[in-house]
Structure 1
Amino acid sequence: MNNTLKVSDAELYYEVRGHGPLVVLVGAPMDADAFAPLAELLKAGYTVLTLDPRGVKRSTLNPGGTSRPDQRADDLAALIRHVDAGPAVVLGSSGGAVSALALAQYHPEVVRTVIAHEPPLSRLLPDADELLAAAERQMADYLAGDVIGAWKQFFRGANIQIPDQVVELMFAGDRDPVQVAAERFWFEHEMRETITWLPDLDKLREVDVVVGIGEESTGQLCDRTSTALADRLGVEPVRYPGGHTGFAEIPEAFAAVFQPQLKGIHSPR
């Protein structure tokens, strides 16, 4: 089922598959399509909710709106209540992991477990000032028109090894305007708010939080931020197949690790 839900300053596009206990799959800037293969694998036993975050692709945002983690948490809480199959297990990846953590912090009553897969929480790191200054340069360069230069900086800062010529091929020439719009929204409205968000660790310790890291992400920035979060929460990170986007690239292998974490979840109905 594909549908939309109006909230105070946005209209959220969402998809629901299957029946059973509620599982939410969320990204930022990744949209519902990125999680569709994983959702298809889960729908036989669960109600699976995916969505486009506010301002991305099919989810609209009122003029002047932005995308803070607390706003995205409110959106998720509204969708979970609207679907009426919760409380939910929420798997968030990248900026969506920050959204999921914010949901657990601000709306703990709607979640059973939050699985934060590689949240880019730069402020948890000792070199946060340097990292955030570099991110400001990336955002400024992108918005000034240096798309390829900004992405090269982004991958270097994340310690993701992609040759410059590959980056040039990825982001040059004619591109999908919908994807370009989502990308620009990330640099203009999501990135700063996401990487500067500082969670309330005491509140998160009151919720069942799992920290996930890709097996191929060792040494990358999100490996560092995720490890720092797990250390602060006093939990052992769970290693998932693949790297930062393993859920999309190898969904079957990802699901093999994720599904055992859903065992024992029973529908409240």
Structure 2
Amino acid sequence: MTLDSSATTVQTLRVDGARLHYEVRGQGPLVALVGAPMAAAGFAALADLLATDHTVLTTDPRGIGRSPVDDPEQDSTPPLRAADLSRLIAELDAGPAIVLGSSGGACTALALAQTRPEQVRLTIAHEPPLDGLLDDRDELHRATEEMIARYLAGDVIGAWRLFMATAGIRLPEGALEQMFGGERDPQAVADELRWFGHELRETVHWRPDVAALRGTEVVVGIGEASAGQLCDRTSRALAEALDVEPVAFPGGHTGFAEDPEPFAIRLRAVLAGIR
């Protein structure tokens, strides 16, 4: 595939049980930016910054946004999403890839590294929600079940309130009502329902194969503003299990989207260390 570094190529790929929307920018070594449930749009600004000297792949994960699934009742697991990412990397024929996964996408990236290590040059796992690595995993899993139950029962604000409390994320008074109340974009609501109903549980319950990952190059990223939050704890647990030092990235859990320029600078410093 010949790519114009100034353009974004938008395509779809048919995989088992889904049709994946994906976007490609730039030229150079392949970097995949992966979220779950975050779609390609959330990485657009960072992708533009990296595309000056990289081929950058972004995608809507199966069941989210522009990537419909054949069976809406199928759960989205990190290994299933990793198989999708493997197909996309093979389709581009530009690997092995540097894979930056954030949140649930970090679980996807880790699952790919441990099952298809030949396709991955470096895995950057930015704040993976690996609740199973923590001592209080049972309490966290109970909270997950409660927030899912609240959401599916129609208590959207209550579900998000419990989610934020469990994640250790503090928001201003009234922020939840402003973010998740009133008239909302139908696609955002559909993606949210998909996430609560078929993705959240499978992602936070997933446990990586630490022995397999030790044979690969893994950087564990933590947002500088995430101190004390749940994903700070899970990321540090992963780093300890892998016997690596975590790397601080600017911003918080979604720093790459909220202020992508300093995030890109730190990411380039990490990439410079593997060349």
TM-score, structure 2 normalization: 0.95
SS in structure 2 of the partner of residue 216 of structure 1: coil
Match for residue 253 of structure 1 among 253, 259, 262: 262
The 5 A counterparts of 1:160-179 are: 160-179=169-188
Q: Which amino acid aligns with 2:66?
A: R
Is 1:45–2:64 an aligned residue pair?
A: no
Q: Are the structure 2 counterparts of residues 232 and 91 from structure 1 closer, same or farther at C-alpha, using a change threshold of 3 Å?
A: same
Match for residue 249 of structure 2 among 236, 240, 246: 240
Could you say which residue in structure 2 is the equivalent of 1:33?
41
1:90-149 Cα offsets, whole Å, 9 max, x none, are: 000000000000010111110000000000000000000000000100001001100000
Percent identity for Structure 1 against Structure 2:
60
Could you say which residue in structure 1 is the equivalent of 2:94?
85
Greater displacement, 62-71 / 238-247: 62-71
Q: Which amino acid aligns with 2:134?
A: L
The 5 A counterparts of 1:62-211 are: 62-63=70-71, 64-211=73-220
Q: Which amino acid aligns with 1:16?
A: V
SS in structure 1 of the partner of residue 222 of structure 2: strand
Q: Are the structure 2 counterparts of residues 230 and 264 from structure 1 closer, same or farther at C-alpha, using a change threshold of 3 Å?
A: closer
Is 1:11–2:19 an aligned residue pair?
A: yes
Retained in 2: the 8 A contact 1:9–1:65? no
SS in structure 2 of the partner of residue 60 of structure 1: coil
1:157-215 Cα offsets, whole Å, 9 max, x none, are: 00101134111111100001111111111101110000000111000000000000000
CA RMSD of the aligned region, Å?
Answer: 1.0
TM-score, structure 1 normalization: 0.97
Hey, what's the Cα distance between the residues in 1 that align with 2:225 and 2:274? 29
Hey, what's the Cα distance between the residues in 1 that align with 2:204 and 2:74? 18
Retained in 2: the 8 A contact 1:152–1:164? no
Q: How many residues align?
A: 266
Hey, what's the Cα distance between the residues in 2 that align with 1:66 and 1:134? 19
Q: Are the structure 2 counterparts of residues 105 and 18 from structure 1 closer, same or farther at C-alpha, using a change threshold of 3 Å?
A: same
SS in structure 1 of the partner of residue 36 of structure 2: coil
1:52-108 Cα offsets, whole Å, 9 max, x none, are: 000000001112322111100000000000011110000000000000000101111
Q: Which amino acid aligns with 1:87?
A: P
Hey, what's the Cα distance between the residues in 2 that align with 1:199 and 1:18? 31
Hey, what's the Cα distance between the residues in 2 that align with 1:18 and 1:160? 35
- Structure 2, gaps ≥5 residues long: 1-8
Q: Which amino acid aligns with 1:223?
A: D
